[in-house]
Structure 1
Amino acid sequence: MEAVATVASKIKHVAIYLRISQEKKGENVETLGNHRSILTDYATSQGWTYVLYEEVLSGGKTDINERPQLQRLLTDIEKFDGIMVMELSRLSRNGLISETVLQQCVDYDTPIVTREKIYDLANVQNDVLTYRFGSLIASQEHSLIGKRSKNNKIAMTKQGLYVSGNTPFGYKRNNATKKLEIDEQSAQIIRYIFKLHGEGLGSYKIRDILNAEGYKSATGKPFNIPSIRRIIRNPVYKGTVVFNDRKRIKVNGKYTYKNIDTIEVEKAHPAIIAVEEWNRVNDVRIARAEYAQQTREKPATKTGVTALKDLMYCANCGRKLAVRKDNKSGKHHIKVCEYLMPNGVKCGNAGIRVQYVEELVMQRVTTVRTEIEQEIERLLNTDTSDITKDIVEQLSRVDKQITEQEKAFSTLIDLAVQGILTAEEIAGKKKEITARLDSLKAEKADLTVKLQNTNTATVTDKLQNMLTVIDQLEGVGADPTALNTHLKRFIRKIYYDRMLPEELAHVSTNNPVRRNYPFTIEIEYM
C-alpha cells in the first residue's frame, strides 16, 4: 500500500484514454461522454491535469496503425506521469497491442491508472501478471464474442432472416420478424432498372435516364454507376438472402477479407424481380462484360503510358480525366468526363486526341520559360524589405489571435466539464470558435505564402531550378514514359476544358464543327 501511495504521489499529469467499441451493443457516443465525465472528474478530484485521447473502434484490432489515438498517446508517453483508463480492456483486447503498451509503460516507468487500482508495470511483477492475465481474458472474450456473433448470423441467414447490414433499396426490414418486406415506392425504381438493363442498356445509360427523370437513390441523391451495378448483381431482389463467411487476412502488408464460405437461402422474402427475370438480366450483364473485355478500349496502363499520364484534370468538375487507347486507330484519347455534378447531371467535358493536348502543353512550356526569365530579372531588381516587415507583423498578430482562440476553446471544455453551459450553448460557442480558428489559420497560410514570395533569393532559386528542368526537356527525347516523368517534376496538374455548346453536344462526333471545336488548358506548376 505504501508503494502504491508513493506512485500515486508522483502523478501530476495523466493521459486519459477513452475507447468505446463499434461492436458492443449499448455503447455509443453517450457512453463515451459518460466515461469521459467519470475519468475527468476523478482526475480533477486527485488534483491531476490531463489530456484526452478518444476513439470509437473495436479493441480487437490487431494492428496498432489502426488505433491512431492510442498510437499518438504512446508517442507522447514521456509527457505524462500515468495513463488513465476505465478498465484495462479499454486499452486493447489484442495480445500484441497489449504487449506494446506494456513495454512502453515499462520503458518510460509510466503506470496505468484506473479508479480502483494503479498498475505499476515497471516495478511490481504482480501488476505485470495481473495486466497480462486481464489482457488474455479480454482477448479470449473478444474472440468468443466474434465467433458467437458470426454463428448467430449464419443461423439467422439459414432461417431466411436478413442480417447483412443496411436494408437494400426497395425493401424495408420488419424488426419483429427480421425479414425483408417490399417497399413498393422504391421497389418500382428497382423494377425499372432491371427493365432497362434487360432491354440492353448499360449502367451509364441507365444512370442518365434515372437522373434525367428525377429518380433518387436510397441516400436521396442522384444515382451513380456503382450503385446501379450493385443493384443489378444483388440476388436479394430475387428473394435470396446471402451471408459471406469471411476471414481477415493480410495481403501485401494490408488487411483484406477472404470469403471462406457463402450461404444462400432462396425464397427467404418476397422477390421484387422474378427469379427467371433476374437470371436473364444477369446473363445479359455477364455477356456484355465479356464482350467489353474483348472490344472496349483498354486503360493507358495496359496499352502504354502517354506523356500526360496522371496530369490531366477536368476544368469543369475538377476530377482526374481518363485516357484510353482506341483499338482501331491506335491513338490515345482523353475520354469524355462522365462524373456527376452535385445536381445529378453528367459533367460532359468532351474528349479529344491526347496528341493535340501534348502539343499545346509543350507550346505553353516554351512560353512560360520566357516568363520565368523575365520574373527572375524583375525580382533581382526589386527591394522587398518593407513588404517583408509588414507581413511579419501581420503574421505575429494572427498568431496571437490563434493562441487566444485556442485558449477560449480550452476554457469552453472546462465549462462543459463543470456543467456551467448547456449542450446547445457549448455547440454554438464551439462552432463560433472553430469558424474563427479556421479563418485565422487560412489567413496565416496566405500570409506565409506571401512571405515566402517576398524572399527574392528563395523565389529566384526556385524559378532557376524550374528553368533548369525545362531546359532538360530537350534531352529527354520522344519516349512518353521519360517525358511524363520529367513533366511531373515541374507540373502539378493540367486543367482541360472542352465543354461543347448545347447544339453540338448531341450531334455526331463525326460532325466537322463538333470535331474541330477548340479546347483550352490551364497548367498548375509546382
Structure 2
Amino acid sequence: MRKRIIGYARVSTEKQDLERQKILIREYCSNNNYDLVKIISEKVSGAKKDRESINELLAITKETADMVVVSELSRISREKECLAVLNTINDILENGLDVLFLDDTSKVYSAYTELDVIDIITLTVKAHSAAEERDKITARMRTGKLTKLNINPYMYTGSLVPYGFKVIDNPDYKGQKSNIPARKLMVVDESKAKDVQFIYQLVLNGTTLRDTAEEVNKLGLKTQLNKPFCETSISKMIKNPIYNGRRRFKGLNLPLMDKIIPDHDWNRAQICVSQNQLFKGKATKNFNPLKGLVFCPCGYALMLHKMIRKDGSRYFTMTCCKKNDKEYRKKCRNSGIVSHVLLPTVWKCVKDTLLLSEYTTKTTSEVHRINSIIEGLEDRISELTGAIDSHKKEMARLSKAITLVTVKGLIEQYENEYVTEEAKVAELEVKINNIQDEISNYKANITKINSITYNSQLVNLTDQEKASVYQKVLSKVVYYSSDYFRGFIVISYKNGLENIIAVNKTTSGYISPLPSSFSFNVDTRKVRVTITKKQTSIKEFSLSDIENLEYSFKELELNFNPKQWDIQSQVLQ
C-alpha cells in the first residue's frame, strides 16, 4: 500500500508565494511514489498562536494519512516559545502520523514515538533560529518602513486607511531595488476631508458624539469598513491626531502631514469630547456627574436606571451597565445603590477630603514623584542628543570621504553607511519627540493635580461643576455590595488617597466614612485595619505585635459600630 501524505505549507503575507512550497511537496511525493492526499496551506504569520491551518493539521489522524511533509520547521511556527513547536510536532506523532521536513529528508520522526534528547535539541535549535530570523525580518521591515516614513510621512504601510484619506500609486516609485520612494502613498481625499471637517464642526458646536453619529448617518455616510457611524467611531475620529497632521508608526511620531483640522479646532474638539464623555448636554434632565468614573467591581460602569415604586413614584439606582444581560448577571451579583444616596455621599466625602491637610501632603508627594520621572526622561533626552551628535559627526566624516575617494566600490560603501547613520539620527529624533510628548503629559497631570480650588469655590456648585471637580481629583468610585442593603463605597483619588464609606440602607441605617487608617482589599472585598496589641510598657513593643485584620461588612458592624461615624443627616438633608 502506497504511503499517504498530507502536505503543509504556510507563508506570512499575501505578497509571498505558497506555490514554491507546494511544488516541493508534490515533487517529493512523486519521486518517492507516495499518494498526496491534501496540502493544507495558509497565509498567516508563524508567530500567531491560534492558526486555522495548524488546527486542521492537528485534527488529521492515521485513518486519513500516514505522514505529514513540510518544507522546513519555520513553516510550522516562528513562535519564540520553542516548547510550543515541540508540542505541535509531538501531537502530530501521537495522532499516528510520521513527520518529515524537506530541508532534511534523512530524518523521519516516526509516529507513536517520543522525541529523544537529540531530536529535542535539534528541533529546539532550529525553532530558536526560526524565531530569531522572524525577529530580524520584523526589525528590518520596521527599520525600512521607518526610514521611508521619515523621508515621506505619506507612505502607505498596509494598515486600515483613516476616513478622509485614500491610497494612490506613488509616481516617483522606481521599482523594488531602489524603493526608498514608497510604492503607494496615503493622501488626503478632498471630498471625504470635507466630511471630517463637518463632523468636527458638529462636535465643536456642542453636538454629542451620539447625536453627531445620527446626523452623519442621515447623510448616508459610511465608515472605511462600510458601516454606519456610531458614538465610538466618531470619538476615535476626533481623537486621531492624523487629522491634525500628526501621524504615528509603531508608537513613534513622524514628520508632519497636511492638516485637515487646524490646531485651534483640534484642541477645542478634544475638550468637547471630554465633556461629551461626562454628559449628553448641559440641559440633560437626569445628569450623572460621576459618569466615566463610577464602576461596578466587575469592571463595567455603573449607570443610572429608572425605577418605579408601587405607588407610581420614580427614583434612580446606580447599577452595572450589564444588568440586562441575563448570562452576565449570573457572574456579577453586585447589587445597585440608589443615586440619591451615592451622589451626595461622594460629593460630601470629596469636599471634606479636599479641605484636609492630608490631601495637600499627598498631592505634594505625588507631584514630587512625577517630577522625579520627568527628570529621568530629561536625562534620557540628553543621552539621545549625545548619540545624535555622534552619528552626525560620523555623517560629516563620511560625507567628506565620499568627496575625496575615487574608487566606485568605496563611494557606494560610504553612501550606504551615510544612509544608515542618517536613519539612526531620524529614529533617535523620533524617540526624543516621543519622550517630549511624555513629559508634556506628565506636566499636564501635575497641572490637573494642582488645579483644584478650595473652600470658597466648593459650595453651591451645579452638578456640571461637581463633575469638573471629580474629573480633576478622582481616579474612580466603586460600589461593593455586601448584600442588598449593605455595601462599601470606595473613592480613589488621583494622588493616591482613598475614602471608604460603609452604607447601611435599612430603616435604622447609616452612611459612615471610615477612619483614614482603614484600607480596602478589593480582592476579598473586606476592610483592612491595622491593630496594635496592648503592651505593658513601650520597651516591650515589637513589629510582631502589629496585626493586619480584615473585616466583612457584618464583622465591621460587630467590632466597630460604624454608626458612630454616621453622616446620613448631612448627606440626605
- TM-score (normalised: structure 2): 0.43
Bigger radius of gyration, 1 or 2?
2
- What is the TM-score when the length of structure 1 is the normalising length? 0.47
